[in-house]
Amino acid sequence: MVSSARLAASRRSLACAIGAGVLQPGGGGNGLGPASASFAAGATAGLPIASITGLNAGETIATIAPNDGRLTLDVSRRTLLVGLTASAVGTIASTLTTSSGRKLSMTIAVAAGAPITLNNLFSTAQANSYSVYADESENTPLFRVARRAIGSTLTLTVSGNKLKLVDDGTDAFVVKGSGSLTLGESIPITITETHPNATNSGLQSSSQVGVNAKGNWPAMLAA
């Protein structure tokens, strides 16, 4: 029979081991968790996926594999977030390594998101026409594409190099290109919007950009 003194000593040793990070409380492996998580395809970048449990004081997540942009970490490096790179429906087998060298294997399910319907990008009170200065400098924002769906991809179709699209995934602007604008001309443009959850993905919205002596920047597409 184990004496009370030996049992108490064993408990103290176990508590010290847990406090030192040698053993982790909780079930399975090294005590890190969770082993699984999920998020929807097309989810906004920065959306929390899971808080990592079982980390010691001062211990953080040092690396994520695969490091392909689909997953990222918050500032504290203790919470897993949706990354900037879009994830297809399926499963991500990820390994998170802590600053202490411990590893957590996670199975992350990427579910199909709720279906959405894309809107015409150019439904405005300006009759789908936008005015710009003839002497705009290259890369100057001309107007913002405000009706785009979060998580969608935009592609600008325009003849020549007078206009281009700048898109960070949330805000998109039609900006001045490298070509010269001619006073009085009207430039037809089409923006194609695609989204993995859209019932009408690939929707094309068309407009005209008129070049005047004075413009109305910042013209904003109606939300």
pLDDT digit string, tens, across residues 32-80? 999 999 998 878 889 999 999 999 999 999 999 999 999 999 999 999 9
User: How far apart, in Å, are the Cα atoms of 34 and each of 10, 29, 78, 97, 104?
Assistant: 29, 11, 12, 13, 8
Is residue 50 included in any domain, yes or no? yes
Is residue 16 included in any domain, yes or no? no
The structural domain count of the chain equals 2
Is residue 123 included in any domain, yes or no? no
Residue range(s) defining the domain that contains residue 146: 129-220
Which CATH number do you get for residue 212?
Answer: 2.60.40.60
Whether pTM exceeds 0.85:
no
Could you give the residue ranges of the DSSP H alpha helices within the chain?
A: 4-19
pLDDT at position 142, please? 87
Is residue 17 included in any domain, yes or no? no
Q: How far apart (Å, rounded) are the C-alpha atoms in residues 145 and 121?
A: 7
Single residue among 111, 137, 171 that ends a domain in this structure? 111
Shared-domain flag, residues 59 and 103: yes
What is the rounded average pLDDT of the residues 87-114?
93
pLDDT at position 128, please? 56
Is residue 5 included in any domain, yes or no? no
State the pLDDT confidence band at 132, using cuts at 50, 70 and 90.
confident
**Greatest mean pLDDT among 94-98, 121-125, 176-180:** 94-98
Shared-domain flag, residues 94 and 173: no
Shared-domain flag, residues 77 and 135: no
CB atoms < 10 A from the CB of 106, how many? 21
pLDDT at position 108, please? 96
Which of residues 15 and 123 earns the better pLDDT score?
A: 123
Shared-domain flag, residues 90 and 173: no
| Strand partners for 4 | none
